Structure 1
Amino acid sequence: MKIGIQLYSVRNRMENDPIDTIRKVAEAGYKHLEVANRDSYNDFGVGFGLTVQQTKDLLAETGVEILGAHIVPFVEDTPLDKILEFHTEIGTKYIVQAIDFFADKDELLRKTEQYNRIGEQCSKAGIQYLYHNHHHEFLCFDGVTIMELIMQNTDSDFVKLELDTYWACRGKQDPVEVMKKYGERVRIIHQKDYTKGYEDEMDLLSHLENSPTGFEDFMSYDSKGSASVKKESFTEIGTGILPIQDYIDAANKYCKCEYIVLEQDFSVHDEIDSIKISMGNFKKYTGVKW
């Protein structure tokens, strides 16, 4: 697998100077980028106002590729046709449902119909649609996990999985078993590490199990952490407790993964320093290239 990076990892720098930030990311050794567009109604591309031509020029200058794009919001009226036009032009391979929530099973099943429509439209444009998990997809409706219901009720050609191993662990799952189960539907691995000393707080699923709609606390963590998701529980690749080599081995054995993508939600370090630490440690693993 190739080592990539989700640019959410350097989001604060991206807000200030996206072009210089991408240059610095490339200098840190990352050649395969996944963008985080959080303004999809107004910006159809990589976010932060970059035009198609600016993006193409930057890719040519730095020698990087846009492997995928997280699109937020990604709902019924998201201008998908314009998004696909932009991303087809710059060679993006994957469009990703970054996050979603489900009040009940009926809403979930309605959304799987939407995922199928989105996936088919992406497929016609030559782009693969992926669903990116957090921990709450391992809650159950009628004894079946949300993740399993998504996989059961979507077309395996149109909807595939970007498996975030960190969030799967926090949903009381073994990522290796998830990879075995979903096999070639897993196309990208998202990777971060879990801080040693916070083992007793790993389980986030129990925080939600009695209130499947009570996501407000989880959703608030983006800017400041939250009661259940502490910023300190995120650390750089190879500095925490997750068995990352096991995940790499499983992805290479069971899945059809082209990329393992760093997504650093929080760090005590400067964002560029943080991703350099992770790249240095990524290079110590086998089964990856950069």
Structure 2
Amino acid sequence: MITRRNFIINTSLATTAVLALPSLAFTMDKKEIGLQLYTLRDEIAKDVKSTLEKVAAAGFTTVETYGFSIKDQFWGLSPLDLKKILDANKLKAVSGHYNLGSFLYDGNTSELIAAIDAAKILKSEFLTIPWVDEPFRKNIQDYKKIAARLNEAAKLCANSGLKLAYHNHDFEFQKHDGITGYEILLKETDKNLVCFELDLYWVVRSGNDPLQLFKENPGRFKMWHVKDMDKIDQALNTEIGSGSIDFKTIFKEAKKSGMKHFFLEQENNFAGDSFQSIKTSCSFILKELL
């Protein structure tokens, strides 16, 4: 993670800045808080430019994109046009979620190459794979094949100055003959090429412990998704600090995990509007976790 210039501002003032003067919220010596833009997917569908302006005004300096395709690019914008909007708002897309078409299943590299080109234009650090379709993750051999594809994609990414990451849900933690898909991915991918973006919500929801993963695989989790779990309905998210996940304990082990960047994400169950929810979460992270 990148630290900012060291200003003499105490935590209480910084927390106030998030709500009152958002643009000043990150001028102290704190780790940057990123935002997975899928959180604001309804707003982005209406107006990308104004949404990103509000993201910057809320104090965020890094984002993670989603939804790229050869046909539609980024929500109808070319990577170059998106980069211009990001630059105008002093936002950096350090990572992006790219589905890569059918590459994981049949090795077709057309979407992968397009994704690499897009990520390079955005000057991203990571190209992140967010999902594996259900028919292609039914058994151990499926996961071994996915691992091999990840290694292949990671080499292409490395040749272009990018790092490849894999983002989990809960299905990877299902066991197949006594071993989970996630264990296979961790074991059979090249540690020097493939890293992991750990979605803390999905790890906890699957019944697993992020701290145990850090202990068993130190340094592999270069990015996190930080989203909280509703105390009543585990299928729902909530604002950070309002749910059931013990982020304070998890953040204490950030160094062991290898975390360089983390992205706030909330997929549903906003207390008010989505912009207010990300401000609330951001305030809690600044005050309690960093």
Give yes or no for contact 1:131–1:162 (8 Å, CA) kept in 2.
yes
Does residue 91 in structure 1 map to residue 111 in structure 2? no
Give yes or no for contact 2:221–2:259 (8 Å, CA) kept in 1.
yes
What do residues 143-194 of structure 1 show as CA deviations (whole Å, max 9, x unaligned)?
A: 1111110111111122111001110011111111112222111100111111
What's the offset of the Cα at 1:84?
1.2
**Residue 61 of structure 1 corresponds to which residue in structure 2?**
88
What do residues 196-237 of structure 1 show as CA deviations (whole Å, max 9, x unaligned)?
A: 233xxx4xxxxxxxxxxxxxxxxxxxxxxxxxx3xxx21011
2:141 aligned partner, one-letter code: D
**Residue 241 of structure 2 corresponds to which residue in structure 1?**
238
**Residue 216 of structure 2 corresponds to which residue in structure 1?**
181
Matches of 2:150 and 2:79, distance apart in 1:
26
Does residue 40 in structure 1 map to residue 75 in structure 2? no
What's the offset of the Cα at 1:134?
0.9
Matches of 1:271 and 1:126, distance apart in 2:
34
Equivalent in 19, 34, 53 of residue 49 of structure 2: 19
SS across alignment from 1:25: helix
**Residue 81 of structure 1 corresponds to which residue in structure 2?**
113
Matches of 1:166 and 1:2, distance apart in 2:
20
Larger deviation, residues 129-138 vs 74-83:
74-83
Give yes or no for contact 1:68–1:92 (8 Å, CA) kept in 2.
yes
**Residue 260 of structure 2 corresponds to which residue in structure 1?**
258
What's the offset of the Cα at 1:59?
2.1
Q: How many residues align?
A: 251
SS across alignment from 2:66: strand
Give yes or no for contact 2:170–2:202 (8 Å, CA) kept in 1.
yes
**Residue 134 of structure 1 corresponds to which residue in structure 2?**
169
Does residue 277 in structure 1 map to residue 277 in structure 2? no
Give yes or no for contact 1:67–1:92 (8 Å, CA) kept in 2.
yes
**Residue 97 of structure 2 corresponds to which residue in structure 1?**
70
**Residue 207 of structure 1 corresponds to which residue in structure 2?**
none
Matches of 2:101 and 2:174, distance apart in 1:
22
Matches of 1:129 and 1:261, distance apart in 2:
16
Equivalent in 169, 172, 175 of residue 207 of structure 2: 172
SS across alignment from 1:238: coil
Give yes or no for contact 1:267–1:274 (8 Å, CA) kept in 2.
no
Matches of 2:200 and 2:289, distance apart in 1:
18
What's the offset of the Cα at 1:82?
2.1
Matches of 2:102 and 2:52, distance apart in 1:
28
What's the offset of the Cα at 1:73?
5.0
Matches of 2:80 and 2:184, distance apart in 1:
40
Matches of 1:3 and 1:180, distance apart in 2:
24
What do residues 117-163 of structure 1 show as CA deviations (whole Å, max 9, x unaligned)?
A: 11111111111111111111111112111111011111112211100
Matches of 1:86 and 1:167, distance apart in 2:
28
Gaps of 5+ in 2: 1-30
Give yes or no for contact 1:2–1:258 (8 Å, CA) kept in 2.
no
Larger deviation, residues 13-22 vs 85-94:
85-94
1:258 aligned partner, one-letter code: K
What's the offset of the Cα at 1:86?
2.1
What's the offset of the Cα at 1:60?
2.1
Matches of 1:6 and 1:141, distance apart in 2:
31
Matches of 2:121 and 2:160, distance apart in 1:
10
SS across alignment from 2:222: strand
Does residue 249 in structure 1 map to residue 252 in structure 2? yes
What's the offset of the Cα at 1:72?
2.6
Identity rate of aligned residues, in percent?
27
Gaps of 5+ in 1: 203-228
Equivalent in 130, 136, 158 of residue 193 of structure 2: 158
Matches of 1:277 and 1:75, distance apart in 2:
38
Q: What is the TM-score when the length of structure 1 is the normalising length?
A: 0.82
Indicate the RMSD between aligned Cα atoms, in angstroms: 1.6
* Greater relative CO (CA pairs within 8 A, separation 6+): 1
**Residue 179 of structure 2 corresponds to which residue in structure 1?**
144
